[in-house]
Chains A and B, each alone.
Chain A
Amino acid sequence: MLKLRRARFSNFRLLRDVELSFSVDDAKRLTVIRAENESGKTTMLTALQWAFFGDAALDESPGRPARLYPIDWDATAEPRVPVSVEVEFDYASETTLKDGSSVRSEETFLIRRSCTEHPNEDGAGARTNNSLMLYRLEAKGDEPVANPQVELEDKFPVGLRELFFTDGDRAQTWIEVGTQGVKRARVQNAIRSLLGLDLIEKAQDHVKETLNSFNRELKSIGPNTEAGKLGDRLAEIEVELAESEKAKGDATEALGRIEEQIQDYENRIGEALRQGDRDDLQRQVSSANDQLKAAERTEVQLQRQHSDLFKDTSLALGLLAPHVRRARGLLAGLKERGTIPQKFLPILEEAVDQGVCVCGTSLAKGTPTRKHVCDLIDEHKKVDAIVDRLTDLNVLASRLGTSLDVEDAVGWSQRARDSFQLVSGAQETLRTAQERAKELERQLEGLPDTAVADLTKAKKAAEEQRKVQIRSEREAEIKIHTVERERTELTKRRDQLLRSEKKYARLRANLRAAEDIHGVLALTFAAIQQGKMREVSEEMNRLFLGMIVANTEQAQKAIIQKAEITDDYDIVVTGPQGRRLDPDRDLNGASRRALTLSFILALTNVSGVEAPNVIDTPLGMTSGLVRHSILRTAAENATQLVLFLTPAEIRDVEDLLDEYAGAMWTMSNTAHYPTMLANEPPASDLRVVLCQCGHRQFCSVCERNGDELNDRLVRRPS
């Protein structure tokens, strides 16, 4: 399950400096972001997608690059624009064994995607320094995750992007606009992204990736002028390296200072507690901290012990039991027949030593018989090493055999289950210790003794700072590593450009093979897809009829009786006497929007993927009861719902927002002053400004001309 916690945008179009949090409350799953038209709704939707999926979310095409930097950026003063989006999210997963024991992973991650844009005269600009960092946020500090792109793809497959991030107006292309073929393809692609089909899909992606890599390689070894461009990039790399090394040094230095500060705060808190006759509390704090550290160590140690089970001989022995048993039988047979151990050779060697053969013939030095026997010994010595080895193996197989018969089925398995339960128990202990430490920290912060409370708050702030510096240090280290690797690869690539035509031919053959495999996978995929499609169709019908408040009691009188997805991936609506209605022509705007949202929610429900639904202007063209039921259905069926709503969409659903919204924000565009905004904005440039006004409020930041007279709104103190 994935839930958004917080996002921060920097120089992403007009989101120059915006930070907001999302509701993670299960009872109030809805986050409302109110904004008039041209106030950053679509920009924020795009920025969130960019954080998760990168440039694929930008709708770019060759010759039509997307601009990310603010439109009024002064490029003469600052030719490089640092753009970044940070998204913090929770990710939970659970593994349960058949005996019921389970380990739950609840983690918080931070994505930081950034780039540098270089504005040019035509309004676009080159984009460099693309960077993606993924951190696992832990109490003891943030850990960068290796292979961030792969990890993100595992947690939030790119195929699900359009399902979970939805532009209300554009989303209607599922059922309207464009040719029938285009609509079908969109529906088909959406269903393709469902979980349960992911194995084949991943295999397809993998083959596609291979195809692409072959294609790229083919291109790279063809005639080109790429080598000339490499020099420029290599020069840039040197500058980036110097910058990153400086950033790393600064962070390390700051980290040292903060560590000292934290230690100092801890000492002073202890001292203040002792002076205030709070020895008992001080002891509790100290003991809780010790317990927490011990629990953390134990958990890590048990996890490591558990992972060690996968290199244990008992695992290999258990899995290879049939082979080892058969080998044991064969070796025992050799022993029974007297082939092992070697007996013949020692007898011959002794006879040569004695100078007399076992048959009584003389083996005196210089005799032909002695020479014959010595040759025999040499020949057998070659075989001897093998026989020795077989003898050793026989001993080993007999020894293993004893435990094999009893233990191969239960030995490793039982140890793994026991270890799993130990980790599960350690997790529980750690959770308890963490809660206890937090509780004590809250007590310290709430103490009337302001010295202790202030010191505790200061220490907490320093600990946050430590996390930031650790992150900066790691980020710089990774950047250095990445750039150094790029430098190596670029040099290599220059050589690759000169590869022979032989390689070209081989690549073409590989490419054809990969294309064949891809074809087979596509056929398999299509067959499985049909089954899932039926489930989605039924769920969509249920949600849709609920949203448009269909009269199910008197179904024969209803104009709209059923919505379904046909075998050809058309979304169709049926009216009385089974007559097909064209969603494009025969449905009103509200029903079309309801149908679209039903389809999206049905897909997410059937997929079993629990992720936020982020929807821009979902209630446009709707009103009254239908608007009400669309919002209620969405709020009740989504795991986490983030809605960008215009004030017009909010009208008549305020009661539902009161009921479901756990977080509310309002975005305003400074360009709207003075025509629409009532007060002069704090910044003179074009930007989106954010305030915490809910749907029934306004303040000096978001106040629009006429708000004072609007009896639905009240002024929120700034």
Chain B
Amino acid sequence: MSYNPFQALDLKVPSEFHEDLTRYSRTQSVAGEKKNPLDNPFDRYVDLWMLGVCIGARAGRTVELKGPASRTFVTGVVLMTDPDRIELLELLAVGHTGDPYIVAEPRRVIDLANGFAGAGVPSVIDMLKNGRGRPLWNLTEAVLDEFEREPEPLGASAEPSDATKATKTK
């Protein structure tokens, strides 16, 4: 079995955006509805979550997800099919905290990723909704703009700690 230290851990999104996971992913479809890449750009929920993690990390913003404000949509077992993501999440944690040994604590790594998702998923939903075209084109335009912006400089080390507010990690 391939390496996946996150398989028993929860991947989370802010509760209020859980319906958007369904809306913009092709994972679930009710009878008679045919989902398409233009309106449902993400193959699976975890793809939207991962982009949310990246957008949150790039902006240096975290929102801790816990209690009723958070919703577990799947466990980390879903990462098994994409080992690159496991490695990138670990590298993100090492880079963000400055502590290579954080890889020994998968829960901290996933808490950190969930924190970035807490801030990043709402941004991704905004990207999908705001624009003049179909969600796929809105997202394309917004992510290309994101690449043109300078990322937030990395701070010394910070992990999500505030329960309700978005924080800038400096």
Contacts and interface: CB of A to CB of B under 8 A. Distances in A.
Interface of A: 93-95, 97-98, 103, 105, 143-147, 150, 154, 199, 206, 210, 300, 303-304, 306-308, 310-311, 313, 315-328, 330-331, 334, 386, 389-390, 393, 396-397, 400, 409, 412-413, 416-417, 420, 473-478, 480-482, 506, 510
B29 interface: yes
A386 B144 contact: no
B144 A154 contact: no
A320 B103 contact: no
Contact of B138 (A95, A412, A477, A482): A95
B31 interface: yes
A402 to B, nearest CB: 15
B31 A331 contact: no
A330 B94 contact: yes
* The 9 residue pairs across chains A and B that have the minimum distance between CB atoms: A323-B95, A95-B133, A477-B32, A95-B137, A307-B37, A319-B54, A474-B32, A327-B94, A327-B95
B100 A478 contact: no
Contact of A93 (B43, B57, B132): B132
Contact of B144 (A143, A144, A416, A482): A416
Given A103-B133, A146-B30, A303 B37 contact: yes
Interface string B93-137: 011101011011000000000000000000000100111111011
Interface string B67-108: 010000000000000101101101110111010110110000
Contacts of B54: 315-316, 319-320
Interface string B17-36: 00000010000011111111
Contact of A417 (B38, B85, B92, B144): B144
A393 B103 contact: yes
Given A313-B88, A318-B147, A416-B144, 12 more contacts: A97-B140, A143-B34, A146-B29, A307-B37, A310-B41, A319-B146, A327-B91, A396-B87, A400-B91, A420-B140, A481-B32, A510-B68
B51 interface: yes
Contact of A390 (B39, B84, B103): B103
B16 interface: yes
A478 B103 contact: no
Given A93-B134, A146-B35, A481 B30 contact: yes
A409 B82 CA distance: 23
A150 B23 contact: yes
Interface string B151-170: 10110000000000000000
B139 interface: yes
Among B35, B92, B154: residue with most chain A CB under 10 A: B92
Contacts of B144: 97-98, 413, 416-417
Contact of B133 (A94, A304, A320, A482): A94
B50 interface: yes
A711 to B, nearest CB: 51
A316 B16 contact: no
B94 A304 contact: no
Contacts of A94: 132-133
A311 B44 CA distance: 9
14 contacts: A103-B137, A105-B133, A199-B126, A303-B37, A307-B41, A311-B43, A319-B151, A322-B58, A327-B92, A327-B95, A334-B100, A393-B94, A478-B31, A510-B68
A315 B29 contact: no
A416 B144 CA distance: 8
Among B32, B47, B54, B82: residue with most chain A CB under 10 A: B32
Contact of B136 (A98, A143, A303, A316): A303
A403 B29 CA distance: 38
A150 B40 CA distance: 14
B151 to A, nearest CB: 5
B156 to A, nearest CB: 11
Nearest to A150: B23
Given A199-B130, A413-B144, A311 B47 contact: yes
A680 to B, nearest CB: 45
Nearest to A340: B100
B55 interface: yes
Contacts of B58: 319-320, 322
Nearest to A209: B16
A393 B91 contact: yes
B32 A323 contact: no
Among A323, A328, A412: residue with most chain B CB under 10 A: A323
Nearest to A329: B95
Contacts of B132: 93-95
B147 A475 contact: no
Nearest to A98: B144
B103 A389 contact: yes
B42 interface: yes
A594 to B, nearest CB: 33
A322 B154 contact: yes
A326 B95 contact: yes
A304 B136 CA distance: 10
Nearest to A313: B84
Nearest to B56: A319
A510 B16 CA distance: 13
Given A95-B131, A386-B104, A480-B31, A320 B57 contact: yes
Contacts of B37: 300, 303-304, 306-307
Nearest to B129: A154
A300 B38 CA distance: 9
Contacts of B9: none
A601 B103 CA distance: 61
A324 B143 contact: no
A308 B136 CA distance: 11
A316 B23 contact: no
A98 B147 CA distance: 13
A144 B88 contact: no
B62 to A, nearest CB: 13
Contacts of A307: 37, 41-43, 136
Contacts of A323: 57, 91-92, 94-96, 154
A173 to B, nearest CB: 33
Contacts of A324: 88, 91-92, 95
A476 B95 CA distance: 53
A74 to B, nearest CB: 34
B32 to A, nearest CB: 3
B70 to A, nearest CB: 14
A319 B41 contact: no
